[in-house]
Amino acid sequence: MGYASFSNTAHFKGDPAEIWDAFANPAVAGIYAEHQTEFFPGPDFALAAGKTWQERHGAECDFDVVEWTITDYVPQTTIAFKGRQSGILQKVRMSMEAADGGWTLVEDIRFSPTVGGKWGTSVVAWIMWATGLLAKFSDDHGDTFDRLRRHLDGESGEVAVPDEVRLESAMVGHASSFVPAVRNTVSSAAADELDGTAESMAAVDRVLGHYGERTVPLSEDDYLRAAAYVFEVARAEFGGRYVEDEDGEAVALVVGEPSCSVTVMALGKVMKRVQHGPADSIEFFYAGIAPLVERGQSAVLR
């Protein structure tokens, strides 16, 4: 049958949440991939079994569009997904476990022939699979982990990613983690209310109210996931672009351009809602965006 799979392993030290997000979240991983891809989330995308996303390649891959489906997901432990490209079914399993004062990451990829795609391209891919060349040439012998390490260290790598693209990918990734986090730490019922609509801001308020009742302080990631969800719902409704301050510490979404500039600063508002309670309602905050955009009135919402 030939060489139809490969596996690579590496050891990392650092914040497990940050490592896992960069390793397993497709919205983030596309930033440091050898051939950068565009990430397009499916409906109500989240890091959860059954959810999908599209990976759109450039000219080096004949502008292929691959749809991936998550088949298994356990936060900070494992993610498995599958997709078809050029007549080949790819099954990927990525895992992380504690080891030697850090974290061992494993990436396992298996190939098998399937129908679909361009006939000529598929035949070539089937021959490569049968002879073992497909897995041999696909195996980067750990280069992906090297790029991941550079990404975590803040190095730009071979290709400079525009700030707007970098911020958008990061926010999409954080937002996609919000629903699974709520499902794991609050309840499945609360998570089910987070359907990516403006109406779900009431559910966000309830989740943040629950967070405010905790005796254990929230992590920065907890705040960021919730803020990113608010950002992404707003961006889906109003469009817009992400910006950050000169120190790279505050991220905002700017909507309404070119007729006006409404700057939405969700992270600070999320923190206030957790710390101060219902007086800093996220639902009320979000409802303030549409009237400003409709009037063409520039403002900063914080």
3-state secondary structure the chain: CCCCEEEEEEEECCCHHHHHHHHHCHHHHHHHCCCCCEEEECCCCCCCCCCEEEEECCHHHCCCEEEEEEEEEECCCEEEEEEEECCEEEEEEEEEEEECCEEEEEEEEEEEECCCCCHHHHHHHHHHHHHCHHHHHHCCCCHHHHHHHHHHCCCCCCCCCCHHHHHHHHHHHHHHHHHHHHHHHCCHHHHHCCCCCHHHHHHHHHHHHHHHCCCCCCCHHHHHHHHHHHHHHHHHHHCCEEEECCCCCCEEEEECCCCCCEEECHHHHHHHHHHHCHHHCHHHHHHCHHHHHHHCCCEEEC
Lowest mean pLDDT segment, chosen from 18-32, 56-70, 157-171, 198-212: 157-171
pLDDT of residue 115: 54
How, if at all, do strands 299-301 and 262-264 pair? parallel
Q: What is the pLDDT of residues 162-218, one digit of tens each?
A: 577 778 878 888 888 898 889 988 999 999 999 999 999 999 999 999 999 987 788
Q: Answer for the pair 202, 283: CB distance below 8 angstroms, yes or no.
A: yes
pLDDT of residue 114: 60
- Asked if the model's pLDDT at residue 100 lies above 50, the reply is yes
CATH number of 163-301: 1.20.120
pLDDT of residue 246: 61
Could you tell me the pLDDT band of residue 5, with boundaries at 50, 70 and 90?
Answer: low
Whole-number mean pLDDT of the chain?
A: 81
pLDDT of residue 1: 36
Amino acid identity at 133: L
CA distance 68 to 42: 9
Nearest to 161, CA basis, from 292, 10, 288, 36: 36
- Asked if the model's pLDDT at residue 57 lies above 80, the reply is no
- Asked if the model's pLDDT at residue 54 lies above 80, the reply is yes
Q: What is the pLDDT of residues 218-263, one digit of tens each?
A: 888 889 999 999 999 999 999 999 998 765 568 899 999 999 999 9
CATH number of 5-152: 3.30.530.20
**Domain residue limits, the chain:** 5-152, 163-301
Higher pLDDT, 113 or 8: 8
Lowest mean pLDDT segment, chosen from 11-25, 50-64, 223-237, 264-278: 50-64
**Mean pLDDT: which of 34-43, 218-227, 279-288 is highest?**
279-288
| Average of per-residue pLDDT across 5-26 | 87
Higher pLDDT, 183 or 38: 183
* CB within 8 Å of 213: residues ≥ 6 apart: none
Q: What's the pTM value of the predicted model, to 2 decimals?
A: 0.55
